[in-house]
Structure formats: structure tokens, C-alpha cells
Amino acid sequence: MTDSSLIWKTATEIRNLLARGEVTPLDLLDALEARISAVEPRINALPTLCFERARDHAKALMEKPVADRGELLGIPVAIKDLEEVKGVRTTFGSPIFADHIPTKSDIVVETLEKNGGVVYAKANTPEFGAGGNTFNEVLGTTLNPWNQKRSVAGSSGGSAAALASGTAWLAQGSDTGGSLRNPASFCSIVGLRPSPGRVARGPSATPFANLPVAGPMARNVADVALMLDAMSGEHPRDPISLARPAESFVDAVNAQRLPKRVAFSRDLGCTPVDPEVAKICEAAALKFEALGVKVEEAHPDFHDVQEIFQALRAEGFYMTKKKLLDAHRDKMKPEVVWNIEKALEYSLEDFTRVQLARGAYIQRAVDFFETYDLLLSPATCVGPYPVEQRYVEVCDGHTFDNYVEWLTMAYAITLTTFPALSIPAGFTAEGLPVGLQVVGGPRDEAGLLSAAALLEAEIGHAAAVPIDPV
């Protein structure tokens, strides 16, 4: 008989049960399959399931001693539909790839499976991960478990909604302009954008690109640390991949290291923010003071964030999607077409100026973190918006110039290369989630996760999920 109580446990608790032999990976798959049957029709977070493949993998794991099963010991993991899973339909949210069955898995998937993760589902995403609302013409729209009339943001929206609605304990996401952090904010879960190279990915046609990264999503910081341990490490096919640190990320969280000096900014000096969202995040940030940590209003100089990010994003889309546009323009959503063709507006001189500007941008951020250990801000400029809107067009009286500008709070940090996560900060008057962005110093995921776990406990919203969809 399926044990439905497993759904409400954290990934860390599930791992402990596996370690003691009190449950098996097959028990976990049974519990998830039952929960998906009950919840998924209302949310559409995990439109592609692969339970037969998952059970085969689980049985193979169970033949090994517990000590040889990897960090996750057989915990099921949902994979975003931008990453290929061998033998499982992977659409990238695009009609062009509606029937695509990969013959090989992405490095991210290989690493997770090698370290004890069991892949059982693909999580929904907007077409090619473009946009902060999870819908596409192949697999439909993902709805927010907190209010099914609202967006889950994007592009890792399926992963976030699955975690919030109890159809996942751990889920993989990816992030360029906030695709891990924005859905985490909208669904009251935790999403970590790690440093470029922390999680090996690909093989990629653009292996030195450092705007896109893959990372972990879970219901709390400790579970994110557990998943990051299972995702991190070098790989020969990813030339920027980093060696695993000597200290595990789980151990870093357990060390409970407080930051000495923290900065908070309502808007990072570069974007409008809804006043209610800003107020909720400021109150959450100030919880550090109860732990004896000083919180000051400050932020790095991000004045040229739009010029830099928009140019680099356009360049990335052009390099990776121009051939698809030439062959399948009629199958691409207009936002993707716009993003590819925007690159044609830039000259070589423009790209040279942008690259030099980004170098100065990063150095200003490094200088800032010589004074502060963490930077806190709202993760998004608004709360969950109506799902029928393709994107946020206006915030606090400001009309955005394009479909991604409302994500500035997140991609201002992307450009620094520093690790950042969103943790639950509180709820609006409508009862909708708001996330607090917590940014660590260069390659300091350990310090970030340790401090974020302490703040998470002080804020007190970590146990708010999973929920039955409202």
C-alpha cells in the first residue's frame, strides 16, 4: 500500500529513511505516482513521466550496498525539459522538438543519476526557456499551486510547481535571467543559481558561455545543499566545470556560519519594484538582526545592467537558435524570434564595448563583497501575476521595454557570476508567495547556503510547502 505520508517529508528526511532501510526507492516512486495522479491534472508541472525507466534504475540501485548508492541513495528527481534524458521525450518546450527522443542524457542528468538520483519526470518550461511564464504550445501552461489563476514564473516553473504541490522532493532547474530564482519566489520554495561551472552541463555548442547555469531546487535550503552535492563536480566535456570542494554543501549548512555584514537593497538601484513586495522582503532581510547580524542599505553599481545583459542574451540566442529560426520561423513564439534577431542590431564595436563594460561590472561587484558577506533583495519585482499574461508589462508605474526586463532583479546578479538563491520571504495580502534573493560572494556557495539556512529558520516559512493546489 502506498504511504502518502512520505510526500510531506523533506528530501533530507527521505534520505535518512533510505539510509536506515525504512523505505526503498520503489516506495518513493509509488508515493509520487499516486500524488501525481491526484494533483498533476490541476497544475501541469510534470507533463512527461518515465516511471518504468525510473523503476529499472531504482532496482539497479537497490542491488548495491547503501554506501555505494551515491549522495541521494535513490531519491527521485524531476528534470527540467531543457535537459535531455536518454530515451525520454524532451521537447525544450518547442513544437520543433515535439517528438524528440534523445539517445544520450545531458551531463547534469548523468551526474545526478551517478550520484543516486532517480529520474521519473520532465518538468515543464517555456519554449527554449525564454520568458518568465511557463507555457508552450506542446505541453501547455503550468499553473501556480497557491492560486491556479496565477503564473509560476519561469523558466523552471514546472520544477517549482512540482515541489510546491508535493509531486517532487528535488527538482533540477536552470537559470540565465532568473529561471531558478523567479519560480522559487512565485511558489514559496528554494532555487539556487550556482556559480558558472559549479554544475557541469552540456555538452554545449557554446561551452564558455557563463550566463546559463544548471542548479538545484527544493523545499528548503538544506535539501538544496543535498542536491547540489549530488550535482557538482568537474567533467571533461565542460571546460569551465569546477572541482568539488573539500567541504560538502550539506556540511556547510550544518556548520551554521553567520555572515558578519549584510547589505539589503529594495531595488538594486536599477529596476522598479512593487512596494508590497519590497516591504515583505525588507522585513525578511531584517530578521538577520535577531541573529546579531548588522543589515545595511547598500548595493553595487549596476547602472549599465540593461545594456550588458540584453546584448549578451541576444548574442547567445543568435549563436544557438539562428539556424532553427531560418528553418522553423513559423514554429517559434514571437519573443524568441525577437531575441534572436535583436543580435543583428549590434555591431562588433557594440559587443566589444559590452564585454569591457561587463568586466568593469564584475570588478565593482567584487569590490562590494570585500565589505559585505551577503547582498539581499527581492527575488522578483512583483508577486505572482495572472497566468494569461505572457509577461509583466508594468511595475509601479514603469512600462518595461521588452519581455525580460521585469526580471532585472535576477539578471543584475547573473552578470556578476556570483551564486544566488531565492528563499520564501512571506506572503502578499492576497496570500501569494514572495521570495527574498540572497547573493553570496564569488564561488561561495558554502557560505551562502549556511547563512541562508539560518535566515530561513528565522523567517519561518520553510514548512509552508507542499500544499494541495488552491
Nine cell digits for residue 463: 514548512
Is there a cis peptide before residue 203, judged by omega within 30 degrees of 0?
yes
Q: Where are the alpha helices (DSSP H) in 271-347?
A: 275-285, 305-328, 334-342
For the cut 90, the answer to whether the pLDDT of residue 338 exceeds it is: yes
E strand map for 150-260: 170-175, 190-193, 213-218
Query: Closest by alpha carbon to 183, among 211, 215, 209?
Result: 215
Mark whether 80 is an active-site residue: yes
Name the residue with cell 540572497: 438
Do the domain assignments include residue 469? no
Q: Where are the alpha helices (DSSP H) in 44-173?
A: 51-62, 107-114, 157-164
Mark whether 450 is an active-site residue: no
**Partners of residue 434 on adjacent β-strands:** 426
Sign of the dihedral through C-alpha 152, 153, 159, 164: negative
Do the domain assignments include residue 11? yes
Nine cell digits for residue 355: 564585454
Confidence grade of residue 30 (pLDDT, cut at 50, 70, 90): very high
Do the domain assignments include residue 470? no
Q: Where are the alpha helices (DSSP H) in 118-189?
A: 157-164, 181-187
pLDDT (0 to 100) of residue 410? 98
Q: Which of 94, 105, 155, 377 is catalytic?
A: 155
Is there a cis peptide before residue 185, judged by omega within 30 degrees of 0?
no
Question: How far are the Cα atoms of 133, 431, 441 from residue 428, in angstroms, in the given order?
Answer: 19, 5, 30
- Three-class SS of residue 413? helix
Which CATH number characterizes residue 120's domain? 3.90.1300.10
Q: Are 395 and 120 in contact (CB under 8 A)?
A: no
Q: Which of 9, 80, 122, 287 is catalytic?
A: 80
Confidence grade of residue 132 (pLDDT, cut at 50, 70, 90): very high
What's the rounded Cα separation, in Å, for the pair 453 and 353?
A: 39
Q: CA torsion, points 139, 145, 151, 152, in degrees to nearest 10? A: -80
Query: Any idea what DSSP says for residue 331?
Result: G
Do the domain assignments include residue 147? yes
For the cut 90, the answer to whether the pLDDT of residue 228 exceeds it is: yes
Averaged confidence pLDDT in the chain: 97
pLDDT average, residue stretch 267-289: 98
**Partners of residue 218 on adjacent β-strands:** 170, 190
Question: How far are the Cα atoms of 49, 134, 372, 374 from residue 233, in angstroms, in the given order?
Answer: 27, 29, 27, 24
pLDDT (0 to 100) of residue 128? 98
pLDDT (0 to 100) of residue 102? 98
For the cut 80, the answer to whether the pLDDT of residue 466 exceeds it is: yes
Name the residue with cell 521537447: 91
CB within 8 A of 36, min separation 6: which ones? 46, 49, 121, 167
Q: Which of 94, 179, 422, 450 is catalytic?
A: 179
User: 293-327, pLDDT tens digit by residue?
Assistant: 999 999 999 999 999 999 999 999 999 999 999 99
Question: How far are the Cα atoms of 57, 106, 157, 171, 181 from residue 411, in angstroms, in the given order?
Answer: 37, 24, 17, 21, 10
For the cut 80, the answer to whether the pLDDT of residue 2 exceeds it is: no
The answer for 398, left when phi > 0, alpha when psi is -120 to 50, beta otherwise, is: beta
| Domain total in the chain | 1
Distance separating the N- and C-terminal Cα atoms of the chain: 27
Q: Tell me the residue range of the domain where 343 lies.
A: 4-464
Do the domain assignments include residue 213? yes
Mark whether 159 is an active-site residue: no
pLDDT (0 to 100) of residue 21? 97
**What is the CB-side half-sphere exposure of residue 382 using CA atoms within 13 A?**
21
Q: Are strands 118-123 and 76-80 parallel, antiparallel or unpaired?
A: parallel
